[in-house]
Structures are given as structure tokens and as C-alpha cells.
Amino acid sequence: MYEYALVWEWMAFAVRWLHVVTAIAWIGSSFYFIALDLGLRRAPDLPEGAHDEEWQGEQWRGEQWQIHGGDLYQIRRFGVAPAEMPEHLTWFRWESYATWLSGATLLAIVYWAGAELFLIDPAKADLAPWQAIALSATSLVLGWVVYDRLCKSPLGEHPATLMPLLFALLVATGWSYSQIFTGRAMMLHMGAFAATIMTANIAHIIIPSQRIIVADLRAGRKPDPKYGRTARLRATHNNYLTLPVIFLMLSNHYPLAFATEYNWLIAALVFLMGVVIRHGFNTRHARAGNPRWTWLAAVVLFALIVWLSSLAPRDHEPGATQNMRPGHSRFAEAAGFKEAVQLVQGRCSLCHGQEPAWEGMIVPPRGVILESEAEIAARARDIYLQAGRSHAMPPPFTAKFGITLSVQERKLLVNWYENALSGS
């Protein structure tokens, strides 16, 4: 039975590995094309693009010489397409789909399977796991539907109105999540919300538009410029969402960012920060100058985030520990619980406390609190993996201060966990 915890942990690692790798491939190719587009230069012998003039104007044609791996590459952009459609065309879409699929799997592994520990905060909403999971999944789908409707409405033609409206949608969503879920889950869901929009933009708008354009060109028809316009609008949104999404995904490793009442405001500022930084890079890549104000604005926004994180009382993370649920109580009833509690309170609580006693530590590391019996029972699996099955905790340097676990004590923690699973 306990093998299950080990296999589960390794599966989570494998999926996370896949997710990070695919995300690097996706965001990397996206950054590459943005920089390429903006950095094209005119060349005397550029071939004519098929529908260049009407499509997007002269400035969109150009070429760039690049060096990579010791070879030179000459890359040319056509206004849509050359007169003769090439046989071979490389598409970029699986980087994004694979990132979303692995991300959704990881969300299910960490936040759905671990709903009681990571998703539900009974102090905010005392949901049953299935209710929390349903809210989590529905919100992501709904987000795309609302966003897509807004873009397709007449507002889609007016970016100056659309952009603030989309920003308001993000802020309202963040606030709503913060009223229901734990801080950790709130930040992660904001990342997933934006990332779902990004992938759906590719799957439902950009790739279908490209298919129509290619089919028209192959058939010798002139593609309707509206397809290029829509694809470009959605690609611009994706461009501006990239950096905030990465911040939000990483934020659940930093309790100062998520375990505060103002986490939704922090998320809102993160979106603004992402936009100004992207704007700075976009302008530079286009060789239209180096707008220093964007860096200044990003630093000011970051400072504001740091300040906000210090203001509000930290919410209880994880909330599941106040109302211990039956699913966890088997750990409190298992043989060896008393001994385990003693060990954990003696060797772990000084760092993993609501207010850590460890010199220089201001928040419990990784938001992990191990003080009450309820908290210890709720964290049984983490304790098992971090201190029983592995020697990650307590950190080795604490041995200098006499805080360590002997082999026998680790065995005690292991036995407690495995007893609970085997029902003895």
C-alpha cells in the first residue's frame, strides 16, 4: 500500500518534468518568433510575398541572418506566403498542447487528488473535494468561453477597450478564487486560467485560421485578411500573458506570494508587470529604442508586491487542518501516531510553525506547518516522504544544533504512515 505513495510521488515528478520541458519548448519558440518578427531587416533581393501590400504592409517582409551551432541561417518572412506554396511547412502547435495537457495532469495530481490539503480552505468555503474539483475545472473552461466571447464581440475591434476589460476579467477571477480556495491554489489557478486561454487561442483560433489561409493559398484563392488579423490579435494576447503565467506557476513555492489576504491583488500586479516587461522587450527587438520606463515600472510593481505581501495577515495554509476530515483521521488513529507527533513537534515545529522560532525565518518554509496533531496527521504523506523515506528533513545543517532524526526515529515515522495505510 505504501508503495503507492512512492509511485505517486515519482509520477508527480515525471509529469512536472514533462511539463517544464514542454513549457520551455513552447515559450522558447514563442519568444523566438516574436524576436524574429520584430527584428527582420529589409534586403535588396527579397522575393515578393503573395499578398503583401493589402495584408499587412511592407514592413512585415524582411530577413534575418542568424548564427547558431557554428552555422549561418538565412530566415525570410513573406507577407503571408511566397507566390509558390512550398511543399514542406513546419507547424508549431504541439509544444503548446503538450504543455497544457501535462499541466492539467499535474493540476489533477497535486490539487485534485490533494484537494483537502492544497485546494480547500474550510475557513473560506467548506467544500467537499468533489465540489472543489468541479469548481476548479469549470472555472478554467468558463474563463476561455467568456474571454473568447469578448474577443469575438464588437469590442474585439477596439483593443483600447478590450484590453482593460480583459484585465478586469482577470482581476475579478483572481478575487473570486481567493474567496474560495487556499492562497496556493488561487495563484496556481490564475496561472492555469491564463494558460488555458493561451492554449485554446492556439487550438481554436490561430491554427484553424492558419489552416484556412494555407488551404486558400494552395487552391490559388486569396485568403480573407480577417483570418490573419484574428490570429494576430490572439497571438498578441498570448505574448503578454507569458510572463505572468510563469510567475503564477512558480509562486506556489513562495508562501509570501500566495499565503496572504491580498494574493489576488498581487496576481493583478503580476499581470501588469508582465505586460510592461514584454513591452520593453518588444520595443527593443523592434529596434524602436530601449524604453527605460518599462524597467522602472516593473521594479516599482515588484516593490509594491513585496510591500503588499508584508501587509496582510497570512492566511492559514493549509486550511484543511482546522477541520480535520475523515480521510486524514486514519493517520491520527494509526499505531505510532503519538510517537510521530512527539518527533515532529520536537524536530520540525521550530521551523514549521505559524511563527517559526528558527532565527531569521519569517514564514514556515514552503507554507508547511507542523504544530498541532491535526496538522501533523494531515501532512502524514509529506512527513513520510521528507523525513521517513528520505533524509531531506530536517535539513542536514541542523545536526550542528542537535536537531536530527536517527535511523530508528525515521523508521518510526515510516511505520506510522504504513500502519495507517494498512489499517493497523
Which residues lie near ligand HEC (CB under 6 A)?
344, 347-348, 350-352, 358, 365-366, 368, 370, 382-383, 386-387, 393-395, 398, 403, 405
| Rounded least distance, CB 49 to ligand HEC, Å | 52
d(CA 27, CA 19): 12
| Rounded least distance, CB 185 to ligand HEC, Å | 15
Length of the chain counted residue by residue: 424
Between 39 and 365, CB nearer to ligand HEC: 365
Three-state DSSP at 92 gives coil
| Rounded least distance, CB 274 to ligand HEC, Å | 25
d(CA 137, CA 130): 11
Between 235 and 370, CB nearer to ligand HEC: 370
| Rounded least distance, CB 308 to ligand HEC, Å | 22
Between 141 and 362, CB nearer to ligand HEC: 362
Between 92 and 358, CB nearer to ligand HEC: 358
d(CA 280, CA 38): 12
- Reference 166, options 131, 135, 201; nearest CA is 201
Between 10 and 307, CB nearer to ligand HEC: 10
| Rounded least distance, CB 349 to ligand HEC, Å | 8
- Cell numbers at 266, concatenated: 498581487
- Reference 230, options 154, 151, 175, 297; nearest CA is 151
- Reference 25, options 98, 130, 84; nearest CA is 98
| Rounded least distance, CB 409 to ligand HEC, Å | 9
* Amino acid identity for residue 218 in this structure: R
Query: Which contacts (CB < 8 Å, 24+ apart) does range 126-132 have?
Result: 126/323, 127/180, 132/180, 132/181
Q: In which element (H, E) is residue 243 found?
A: helix 225-251
Between 8 and 281, CB nearer to ligand HEC: 8
